[in-house]
């Protein structure tokens, strides 16, 4: 028999679907906290069990948190009549994802009796993601029980912070490893140049997914072992765009731009990263004509695409082209980053020796730079 969705949840989701169109916002009432709690309280008076109400509130707290609407999630959390471990874990994870670790820790300290492995792991992930290794270790060591997610998170935290030996040591202590455990340590070893160890672990895996294959292919490519990487690439049961990009990047980084282009042309699906890898590869080889040709063929460009081309022009002394490309970038409403500005400043400095002061001033004005005396 098909289970019907509770009417209270239907109403909550309808309220949620109103979004910014809700008339409550016109009166300064933030959706969905007050509206949702009103529904929950109404159903409470009707005798619906707490378990049902808590589940409904948790659903909304989780959805709001994932949308980055932490204020609304907290409002709903604070006004929900009853909370369980999922309620606490959802909000702690939301604060941790947003980098609000002090608030996440405060909530964790308040959760006390309702803490479970999910709550502990939510806090651990927050510290690990922020690179706060000491705090992450402290949480990990204090955990009454650890699941594979907690183990993997700590291994990844060590690896991301260059502590590969610690990551390897912890990997071997994991009671039951999953494919994520293996992928994490293989990537860490490969990226740190310990490719032989990475290959040995890869050969020991009983279950591999596309991430496993891509990690070892990327590691081999970055370490100049292109034939071995290509051999594994051809053996892959299935490939995704990341796998293709890893192999193309390997050729590009090792000055094999022709092989990279052949593979690029054979790709069933390309993403922006695919195009950017090729553009950077051509620039690295000093072929700015081919780089510009690919750039012009792109349907959409991001700051990496533009910055690669600007940097390439500046490095080759094509300073006016660098500045003109930068102005095109601004006209395309793409926000420059620090690397973009550095390349443009280099181009302006080079031009200053050949242009009158007024012309340089006009270029600076157009690019909206602000300089301070050093």
Q: pLDDT tens across 83-135, in order?
A: 777 888 888 888 888 888 999 899 888 887 677 888 899 899 999 999 999 99
pLDDT (0 to 100) of residue 364 = 54
pLDDT (0 to 100) of residue 355 = 56
**Is residue 28 within 8 Å of residue 21, measured between CB atoms?**
no
312 preceded by a cis bond (ω within 30 of 0): no
pTM of the model: 0.73
Res. 27: pLDDT tops 90: no
Res. 7: pLDDT tops 70: no
Distance in angstroms (rounded) separating the CA atoms of residues 193 and 209: 22
The pLDDT tens digits for 169-187 are 999 999 999 999 999 999 9
- Summarize the confidence of residues 243-247 as an average pLDDT: 96
Of the two residues 17 and 64, the one the predictor is more confident about is 64
- Summarize the confidence of residues 236-242 as an average pLDDT: 94
**Is residue 323 within 8 Å of residue 351, measured between CB atoms?**
yes
- Summarize the confidence of residues 268-286 as an average pLDDT: 96
Candidate from 43-52, 138-147, 297-306, 336-345 with smallest mean pLDDT? 43-52
**What residues contact residue 364 under an 8 Å CB cut-off, 6+ apart?**
348, 371
pLDDT (0 to 100) of residue 359 = 55
pLDDT (0 to 100) of residue 234 = 95
Distance in angstroms (rounded) separating the CA atoms of residues 187 and 210: 13
Share of the chain above pLDDT 90, in %: 56
pLDDT (0 to 100) of residue 75 = 84
The pLDDT tens digits for 30-70 are 444 444 444 444 444 444 444 556 777 778 877 887 787 88
Buried (b) or exposed (e) across 61-94, using 16+ Cβ within 10 A? Answer: bbbbbeeebbebbbbbbeebeebbbbbbbbbbbb
pLDDT (0 to 100) of residue 325 = 94
- Summarize the confidence of residues 214-222 as an average pLDDT: 94
166 alpha carbon, distance to own chain's centre: 24
Res. 239: pLDDT tops 60: yes
- Summarize the confidence of residues 365-369 as an average pLDDT: 57
- CB count in 10 Å sphere of residue 200: 12
Q: Is residue 135 packed enough to be buried (19+ CB in 10 Å), middle (13-18) or exposed (0-12)?
A: middle
């Amino acid at each position: 028999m098909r289970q019907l969705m509770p009417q209270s949840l239907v109403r909550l989701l309808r309220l949620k679907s109103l979004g910014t169109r809700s008339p409550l916002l016109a009166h300064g009432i933030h959706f969905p906290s007050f509206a949702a709690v009103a529904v929950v309280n109404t159903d409470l008076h009707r005798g619906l069990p707490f378990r049902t109400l808590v589940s409904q509130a948790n659903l909304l707290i989780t959805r709001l948190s994932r949308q980055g609407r932490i204020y609304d999630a907290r409002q709903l959390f604070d006004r929900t009549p009853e909370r369980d471990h999922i309620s606490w874990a959802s909000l702690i994870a939301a604060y941790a994802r947003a980098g609000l670790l002090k608030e996440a820790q405060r909530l964790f300290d308040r959760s006390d009796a309702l803490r479970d492995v999910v709550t502990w792991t939510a806090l651990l992930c927050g510290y690990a993601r922020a690179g706060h290794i000491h705090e992450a270790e402290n949480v990990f060591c204090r955990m009454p029980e650890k699941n594979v997610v907690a183990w993997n998170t700590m291994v990844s935290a060590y690896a991301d912070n260059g502590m590969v030996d610690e990551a390897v040591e912890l990997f071997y202590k994991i009671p039951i490893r999953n494919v994520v455990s293996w992928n994490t340590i293989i990537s860490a070893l490969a990226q740190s140049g310990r490719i032989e160890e990475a290959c040995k672990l890869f050969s020991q895996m009983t279950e591999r997914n596309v991430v496993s294959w891509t990690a070892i292919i990327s590691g081999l490519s970055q370490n100049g072992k292109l034939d071995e990487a290509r051999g594994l690439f051809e053996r892959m049961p299935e490939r995704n765009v990341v796998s293709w990009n890893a192999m193309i990047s390997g050729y590009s980084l090792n000055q094999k731009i022709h092989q990279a282009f052949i593979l690029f042309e054979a790709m069933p699906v390309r993403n922006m990263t695919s195009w950017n890898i090729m553009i950077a590869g051509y620039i690295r080889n000093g072929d700015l004509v081919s780089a510009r040709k690919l750039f012009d063929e792109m349907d959409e460009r991001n700051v990496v695409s533009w910055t690669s081309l600007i940097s390439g022009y500046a490095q080759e002394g094509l300073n006016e082209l660098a500045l003109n490309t930068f102005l095109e970038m601004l006209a395309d409403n793409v926000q420059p980053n620090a690397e973009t500005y550095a390349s443009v400043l280099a181009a302006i400095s080079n031009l200053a020796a050949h242009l009158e002061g007024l012309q340089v001033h006009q270029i600076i004005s157009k690019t909206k730079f602000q300089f301070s005396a050093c």
